Amino acid sequence: MAMRGLTVFIADIRNCRVRELEEKRINKEMANIRTKFKDGNLSGYDKKKYVCKLLYMYILGWDIDFGHMEAVNLISSPKYSEKQIGYLGITLLMHENSDLVRLVVNSIRKDLDDNNEIHNCLALHAIANIGGREMAESLASDVHRLLVSPNSKSFVKKKAALTMLRLFRKHPDVIPAPDWAERITNIIDDYDLGVCLSVTSLITALAQQYPEAFMLAIPKAIMRLHKVIVERDFSADYVYYKIPIPWLQVKLLRLLQYFPPTEDPNMSEMLHNVLQTIINNSQETPRNVQHNNAQNAILFEAINLAIHLDCESDIVRQATNILARFILSKETNVRYLGLETMAHLAAVTDELDEIKKHEETIILSLRDKDISVRRRGLDLLYSMCDVSNAKTIVSELIRYLHIADYALREEMVLKIAIMTEKYATEHSWYVDVILQLISSAGDHVGEEVWYRVVQIVTNHENLQEYSAKMVLHYMRSPHCHENMLKVGGYILGEYGHLIANLPGASPIEQFNTLHARFGLCSLATRALLLSTYIKFINLFPEIKGAILAVFNQYRHVLDAELQQRACEYMAIATMPTDDLLQTVCEEMPQFPERESALLSRLNEKTGQTEDKRTWNIGGKDSNEKTPANLLAATKERNENGSVDDLVNSVSNTSISAAGGENGAAAPANGSAAPPTPAAPATKAGLTWKDQLAPGYENWYNRLRDGADGILYEDSILQIGIKSEYHGHLGRLAIYFGNKTHTQLNSFAVSVEAPEGLVVANSHTLATSIGPSTQIQQLYSLECQQIVTEVPLIRISYQAGSTQSIYLKLPVLMSRFIEPIQLASADFFGRWKQIGGAPREVQEIIKVPGKIELERARSILVNHRLGICENVDPKPGNFVATGVFNTSLSGKVGCLLRLEPNHETNMYRLTIRTTSDVVSKHLKEILHTALLYKPAPSTR
Amino acid sequence: MTFINFIIIFNRQGKIRLTRWYQYMTDKQKSSLSQDVVTQILARKRGMCNILELEGRRETRGKAIYKRYASLFFCFGIDWNDNELSGLEVLHKYVECLDQYFGNVCELDIIYNYSAAYQVMDEMLLGGHAQETNKKVVVKHCKGFDKLEESDSIVHNLRASNIA
C-alpha cells in the first residue's frame, strides 16, 4: 500500500489536534477527490490512491457517499494491487442491499472462474463480506464448486466454506443444503485442519436447519475429536500454547450439541473417552493466560456437551466439582463462565443438591464488582431455585433489587415473580412477596406482573381475603406506586366485601383509600378505578352516594374513555332495579389455566439469537419444551404467541365486566387456538429408492432366495453378503472389497430399514479401505412387525468426488418364516379355519418355458416353507406351510398350495395366512421367484 | 460456534482504528453501537472480565469480548451463547499474526497500513468465522500478496521513469 500521497494525507490528519481541523482537512480532500473523479481519465494508480484515501476517512467514521464506482472499476484491473484495493473498497463501502451489487456480480463471477487462486480468494472475500440475495442467487453454485472440487487448494476451500456459510445465514433458501450435505460433511476428514475448521462452522449452521441430512456429521465429528484429543494426531503448526487447535475442538464439541446423543455404542464410548481426556487435561496447571483460556474454552464446551448427553453422568459429576472451584476463582473470566455453565447444568438436571451446596458463594456473586458476573449470578440463582430454597433466594434477590443496576431490575422483577409463583408453598408468602415487589420495584414492574397476580388471586379462593387485606395495607403507605393501585383497585372491586367487617376496612374506608390517589394517576388507572367503583356500588349499596358523585363529576371530563365509563356506570347505577347492575358485576369466573405471561415475557427479553439454543435459562421444566435436540426443534414454535393472548384476555375481561353493554361479565374467550405443529422439514431431494444403482437387479434377484454371494460389483468396489436367519432374528454380514490399488477414503455405509425391521450394526466401520483389501460389517436384524419392504443400503466413498451407491438388501419377508410340517388332517383343518378372501389370495402364473417341479420345490424350500408330503391327493401338487415370526406383532401362520399344470405351463398358487398383508406379500415374493429365470452367467 | 458480528479496534482515547461489520447494519446503527461499546469498555476497570454483555434490542443482543494490547483495544462482538474464551483466543491469535506480519506491531502500523491489517484479518477470519489459525499460513499468504503488489509497483515505476 506504499503510496506517498496517502501517507502524507494520513500524517496530515494525524496532525489535526482538534476535530474542527480534521473536518476541514477531510472536506478539502473530499472536494479534491470529487473533482478528480469527475474529470475522469485517471490512471489505475491514481484511482487506487484516491480510493485508499476515502477508505481511511471511512475508517475514521466519516460518511463516504461517492467513490463506489471507482472501487468497482478497480476490481477488474489486471494488476493485483489495484484489484485488491478495489475489493477492499467494495467490502467496506457496500452493503448487501446496495444497488451497486448488481454491477460487481459479473466481475466477481469472472474472478471465481479464474484459474488464479488469488483472484478466487479476493472474489470469495467480497461475497463473504457483502453477500446479498443477488450474490447468493447468482454465485452460490460457483462457491459450492470451489468448496467440493478435488482440485481446489486448501486455502480456497476454507474461504469457500465460510463464504457459503455467510450466504446460507442470510438466504438459507438459496442453498440446497440437503443435496450438498454429504459432500460437505466428508470434508471434515480433510487432512488440513484449517479446512476442517471452516467446514465445521459451515456444517454447524446447516445442521441446525437440516439435522437429518447432516446426521453423518456425528460420527465424523467424534472421530476427528478422538484423533486430535486422544490419539494426538495433528500438525504441530496448529498447536496453540500447547493445545492443538482449540477452536476446532470447541466447534466440534458445539456441533455435537445440536444433535441427539448418538445411539452407536462404539461412538458414544469414543466420545466418552474424548470428554474424559479433556477433563483430565484440565487438571494441568496452565502456564499463562492464553494456555489457560484455550484450555478452559474447551473444558466449558465439553461440560456443556456432557450435560447435553446425560446430565446425570459421571463426567458431569466431575465437572460439577470443577465448576464449584471455578466460581471461587480469582480470575473474573473463570468466575463468569463457571456461573454461566453451572446455570446450564441447573437448567437441565434434577439433581440440584450439588449446586445448592454453593448457594452462599452464588449469592455473594450478586455483589461482584463486575456487572457481567452479577448477571450470571442472577441467572444461576433463578435456574437453581426450587421449593426448598425459594424463600432464601427470593428474599436475597428482593434485598438486592434496591441496589441492583437499573439495567437489571426489570428482568429481576420478572424472575422473582416467576419463582415466587412457581415455588410458593404458602399462599400468604406469595401475596407478601409479590406485593412487596410491586410496591418497592415500582417502575420496573411490567404490566404482566400485576395481570398475573390478578389471575392467580382470582383462581385461588383462599388467597382472596388475605390479598384484599394486604393491598389495602400497602395502598395506605405513603409511597404507593401506581401499579399497586391497579392491583388494589381490581382486587378490592372483586373481593373488598370479604374484608368489609374488619376494623379500618369498612366500605367507605376502602373507597377513600382508593380515591385519595385517584387524581394523581394516569388515565388508564383512573378508568380501571371507575370500574372498581361500579363494583363497589353493587357490593356496598351504602356508599352509593359518594360514588355517584364521582361519576357525575367525570361525566364531563375531556377524556372520551373516562367520560363514557362515567356515563354508562351512572346509567347502570341509577336504573330502577338492580338486576342489570348485579349481572354486570357478577363475580369474575376463574381464568383458564395457561402458561404464565411472565415466562413468555422473560423468553422474549432474553430473546433467541440466530443460533438455536440448546438450553434456556430457568429450571428444568422451562427446558422440557425447548428442543433437547434439533429433531424436536419444531416443538419450540408452539410456545410463542401466548403473551398478547393472555394480556388481551385479562384486559378484555376487566373492560367487559365494567363496560356493561354486553350485559354480562363474560370472560373473554380464553381458549387459545391449538398450536399448529410446524410442517416437518421437507426431506432431502430424492429418496434412496429413486437412486438405486443401475443394474442392481441382476445381483439382487440372484440373492432373493437367501443365497450368499455378490450383491454389487463395479471396477472399484465389490460387495458381497452372507446371511443366516432364525425365527424373527437374523444376521447379515456384508463384505466391502476395494478392487483398486489406491486407498478408498471417506468410506461410509448407512442402512435405511423399513418400519418394523430393525437393522443394527455391530461396530463402527473404518472410514477407509486400503488397496486390494476387504472390510466387513455385521448387521443384526430383528423383524418386529410385518414388513413388506426390504432395507436399502447406501455406500459412499471418495474417489475424486464423492460416489454413492444405493442398493436393496435381499432381506425379504420370507426370511423370517420358519418351515413346519403338518399332517393332512391338520392342514385342511387350518386351511378351512382361515377361509377365503381377503386372507386367501390366488394367482395363475404362466412361466416362461417348461414347468420344472424340482425348481418349484427348491423355490418353496428356499423361501423357508416346509413341504408337506402326501397331503394333497394329487401327486405333483405342492402343499407347504410355515410360520412367519415377528417380535412385536406375534406369529402368522402361512399355508399354501401350488398346483402345476404341465399342459399349459401354468401354476395355480393359493395362499392362506392369518394376515391378509402377509398373504398378499408372500404371493408376490413367490410369483417373482417362479417367473425368475437366472440370466446365464457371463463369467 | 463463535460467530463474530463485528470487530472494532480503538485506542485508549476512544479513537477508532479499524472496524469490520459481518452483519448488516445501517451506518447510524454502526456508529451508535461502536460509540456505545467503546465507552462501556473504556469505563471498565482492570481485573474485570473480558466479557461485556450488550443489553438492548433483540438484534444486537450479544456480548462484546475485548482485550487491551498496549494502547489499543481489540474488541469482537459475538453471539449471546458463543464460547467467549474461544473468541478471546481468536482475538489474541489475530494480534499475534499482526505482530508477526509487521514485526512488533504498533498503533502506527495499523494506521498507515490499514489495508494490510485488513488483509491479515481476512486471511484469518471470513464472514465472521475463524478460517485459519495457523500463524505461519496466514502470514505466508499475506507476504505473498505483498510480493504481487510489489511487482505491480515495480512495473508502475518503470513506466513512470520511461515517460520521464
A5 is in an annotated binding site: yes
| Tens-digit pLDDT profile for residues A813-845 | 888 888 888 888 888 888 888 888 788 888 888
Ramachandran assignment for A504, one of left (phi > 0), alpha (psi -120 to 50 degrees), beta (any other):
left
Catalogue the E-assigned strands of A727-791. Answer: 729-738, 745-752, 757-761, 774-783
- Helices A80-93 + B135-163 axis angle, to 10: 120
A-contacting residues in B 79-118 (Cβ below 8 Å): 79-86, 88-90, 92-93, 111-116, 118
Euclidean distance between CA atoms A680 and A303, whole angstroms:
31
Q: Angle A390-A391-A395 (CA atoms, 0-180°, nearest 5)? A: 115
Any bridge partners for residue A845, and if so which?
A907
State mean pLDDT over A690-701: 80
The three cell numbers of residue A575 are 336504573
Q: Does the structure show a pLDDT above 80 at B156?
A: no
ipTM: 0.85
Q: Is residue A686 very low, low, confident or very high in pLDDT (cuts 50, 70, 90)?
A: very low
Q: Determine the residue of chain A that is closest to B88 in CA distance.
A: A293
User: What pLDDT sits at residue B157?
Assistant: 67
**A820-825 own/partner pairs: CB under 8 Å, 24+ apart:** A820/A866, A820/A881, A820/A882, A820/A883, A821/A866, A821/A868, A821/A881, A822/A866, A822/A868, A822/A871, A822/A881, A823/A868, A823/A871, A824/A868, A824/A870, A824/A871
Q: How far A268 CA sits from the closest chain B CA (Å)? A: 22
A45 is in an annotated binding site: yes
The three cell numbers of residue B100 are 508477526
Any bridge partners for residue A669, and if so which?
none
Peptide bond just before A838 cis, omega within 30 deg: yes
Higher pLDDT, A170 or A650: A170
Q: Does the structure show a pLDDT above 90 at B10?
A: yes
Residue among A376, A439, A440, A435 at smallest CA distance from A403: A440
Euclidean distance between CA atoms A456 and A465, whole angstroms:
13
Q: What secondary structure, in 3-state letters, does A292-351 show?
A: HHHHHHHHHHHHHHHHHHCCCCHHHHHHHHHHHHHCCCCCHHHHHHHHHHHHHHHHHCCC
Q: Is residue A357 very low, low, confident or very high in pLDDT (cuts 50, 70, 90)?
A: confident
Q: Is residue A256 very low, low, confident or very high in pLDDT (cuts 50, 70, 90)?
A: very high
| Tens-digit pLDDT profile for residues B55-84 | 664 555 688 999 999 899 999 998 877 888
Q: Does the structure show a pLDDT above 60 at A805?
A: yes
Interchain contact, B153 vs A2, CB within 8 Å: yes
| Residue A337 φ/ψ, nearest 5 degrees | -75, -30
Contacts of A238 in chain B (CB under 8 A): 133-134
Contact (CB, 8 A) for A225 and A271? yes
Q: How far B108 CA sits from the closest chain A CA (Å)? A: 10
Euclidean distance between CA atoms A435 and A427, whole angstroms:
12
Euclidean distance between CA atoms A467 and A307, whole angstroms:
42
| Tens-digit pLDDT profile for residues A393-450 | 898 888 888 888 777 788 888 888 888 888 888 878 888 888 888 888 777 887 888 8
Residue among A160, A116, A117 at smallest CA distance from A139: A160
Interchain contact, A162 vs B145, CB within 8 Å: no
Euclidean distance between CA atoms A87 and A98, whole angstroms:
15
State mean pLDDT over A807-811: 88
Contact (CB, 8 A) for A630 and A259? yes
- Helices A427-441 + A390-401 axis angle, to 10: 10
A-contacting residues in B 6-45 (Cβ below 8 Å): 16-20, 22, 24, 27, 31, 44-45
Q: Determine the residue of chain A that is closest to B8 in CA distance.
A: A59
Q: What is the mean pLDDT of chain A?
A: 82
State mean pLDDT over A22-33: 91
| Tens-digit pLDDT profile for residues A107-161 | 899 999 888 888 999 999 999 888 888 888 889 999 999 998 888 888 899 999 9
Interchain contact, B111 vs A10, CB within 8 Å: yes
Euclidean distance between CA atoms A532 and A539, whole angstroms:
10
3-state secondary structure of A856: helix
Contacts of B48 in chain A (CB under 8 A): 332, 369-370, 372
User: What pLDDT sits at residue A623?
Assistant: 58
Q: Is residue A645 very low, low, confident or very high in pLDDT (cuts 50, 70, 90)?
A: very low
Output the CA torsion B83→B89→B94→B99 (10° steps). Answer: 170
Interchain contact, B27 vs A7, CB within 8 Å: no
| Tens-digit pLDDT profile for residues A257-268 | 999 998 888 999
Q: Is residue A637 very low, low, confident or very high in pLDDT (cuts 50, 70, 90)?
A: very low
3-state secondary structure of A746: strand
Q: How far A62 CA sits from the closest chain B CA (Å)? A: 10
Contacts of A405 in chain B (CB under 8 A): none
The three cell numbers of residue A591 are 381464568
Q: How far A756 CA sits from the closest chain B CA (Å)? A: 38
Residue with the three cell numbers 455378490: A710
| Residue A761 φ/ψ, nearest 5 degrees | -95, 155
CA–CA distances in Å: residue B31 to residues A585, A928, B28:
56, 74, 5
Contact (CB, 8 A) for A195 and A157? yes
Any bridge partners for residue A723, and if so which?
A732
Euclidean distance between CA atoms A455 and A593, whole angstroms:
9
Q: Smallest Cβ distance to A159: which of B47, B130, B131?
A: B131
Euclidean distance between CA atoms A748 and A796, whole angstroms:
5
Contacts of A161 in chain B (CB under 8 A): 131
Element (H, E) at A312: none
* A:B CB pairs within 8 Å: 193
Q: Is residue A621 very low, low, confident or very high in pLDDT (cuts 50, 70, 90)?
A: low
Q: Does the structure show a pLDDT above 80 at A34?
A: yes
3-state secondary structure of B86: helix
Output the CA torsion A115→A119→A122→A125 (10° steps). Answer: -10
